[in-house]
Homo-oligomer: A and B are copies of this chain.
Amino acid sequence: MTRIEDLDTPAVVVLLDRLEDNITRVQGMISSHGLLNRPHIKTHKIPAIGKLQMKAGAIGLTCQKLGEAEVFIDAGVCDDLFLTYNIIGKRKTDRLMELAARIKRLAVVADNETVLRGLSEAGQRHGRDVQLLIECDTGFGRNGVQSPEAALELARLAVKLPRIAFEGLMVFPNTAPNTFEFFTRAREIFGKAGIPLPVLSGGGTPALNKLGDYPMMTEHRAGTYVYNDVMMVQSGVATWDNCAMHVRATVVSCPTANRAVIDSGSKVLTSDHYYVEHYGRLVEYPGAFIANLSEEHAVLDFSQCKTRPKVGEVVSVIPNHCCSVSNMNDEVHGVRNGVVEVVWPVAARGKVR
């Protein structure tokens, strides 16, 4: 029996009670709004956790890259996957069609004509329809058509092209400023054009508190909720007690009265900042903060803290962005009541293609 204290550091641990509670609670939130739940696996990248999400009531899962979808389909996690990424080029569209042949439904997005035509050609090569949603940019400023009218124009092409089965619209995240107006207008003009929109897919963990603001949506894709992190607590959608991922780290140096250094740097904790000021929260010393990261060191500032750790002491860090932590670490340790119950390889780690 391995106890949490026995783990050599750095070690990424997942508190199983919190993980299970997050899965159940968020399934309930999404279901209570009459939405289908389609969790994004980017946060955990672990088939066993995907199975827990399916068992709790998810309709299917979301992946961001083909390589992730391959891992999850190989593991038999679900037969309904949504790949929310523009898939481009013969090599990748062939992989897509090979995956589509293995499960009941594999949907994919497009936000431009080049990608859409490539998918149609792949569908024709493989003699199989491509389930397609159009990605919409409602103010986030990443991928997506820029207006409901542009969505309709691309949809008109989609319904004309061979082997494209047009299903609806997709956005990330719901909380982008124009989502309500964009989707309201899109439903109007698609209705007038006689093009049905059976699927309207929204996403994002911070949107979980605002699902009622988007009554037109049919499904929701959240990822980070499964672990939560500093960003999710700052966005108001989780508490520190909902944070299931802790990084266990050892204090290796206390060079000055107010400075300590732990053995987990950006290679474990991620240098992702986004809207967070520092680099993670210290569970045992909430008054301290991580002022700086190198690859293998985190420099902790204890100037605002009454107590201080000693060299050799092990501390727990809630990372800024748990998804990136998953992507850098080969395994996580599932812990319950202080005992390591399972070691999960992060099977879809590093699947960038």
Interface residues in chain A, defined as those with a beta carbon under 8 Å from any beta carbon in chain B: 8-10, 42, 64-65, 85-86, 88-89, 91-92, 111-112, 114-115, 137, 141-146, 250, 252-256, 259, 261, 263-264, 266-268, 270-273, 292, 294-297, 299, 310-312, 323-324, 327-330, 350, 352-353
Contact = CB atoms under 8 A, between A and B. Distances in A.
A268 B112 CA distance: 24
Given A261-B143, A271-B272, A10 B250 contact: no
Which 5 A-B residue pairs are closest in the complex by CB-CB distance?
A86-B252, A114-B311, A143-B253, A271-B272, A64-B296
Stoichiometry, as copies per complex, reads: 2
A311 B143 contact: no
A312 B144 contact: no
Contact of A324 (B137, B252, B264, B271): B271
Contacts of A310: 114
Contacts of A330: 350
A292 to B, nearest CB: 7
8 contacts: A8-B353, A64-B295, A111-B253, A141-B292, A141-B299, A145-B255, A146-B255, A329-B350
B10 A312 contact: no
Given A112-B254, A350-B329, A92 B8 contact: yes
Contacts of A88: 250, 252, 263, 311-312
A15 to B, nearest CB: 20
Contacts of A250: 88-89
A64 B296 CA distance: 7
Contacts of A266: 272, 324
Given A86-B253, A143-B252, A268-B352, 10 more contacts: A8-B91, A10-B352, A42-B295, A64-B295, A112-B311, A115-B311, A142-B292, A264-B352, A266-B324, A267-B350
Contacts of A328: 327-328, 350
A64 B252 CA distance: 13
A308 to B, nearest CB: 14
A10 to B, nearest CB: 5
B272 A327 contact: no
A350 B345 CA distance: 13
A86 B311 CA distance: 10
Contacts of A272: 266, 271
A141 B323 contact: no
Nearest to A84: B296
Contacts of A312: 88-89, 114
A293 to B, nearest CB: 9
A109 to B, nearest CB: 10
Contact of A142 (B8, B264, B294): B294
A64 B10 CA distance: 14
A295 B267 contact: no
B261 A85 contact: no
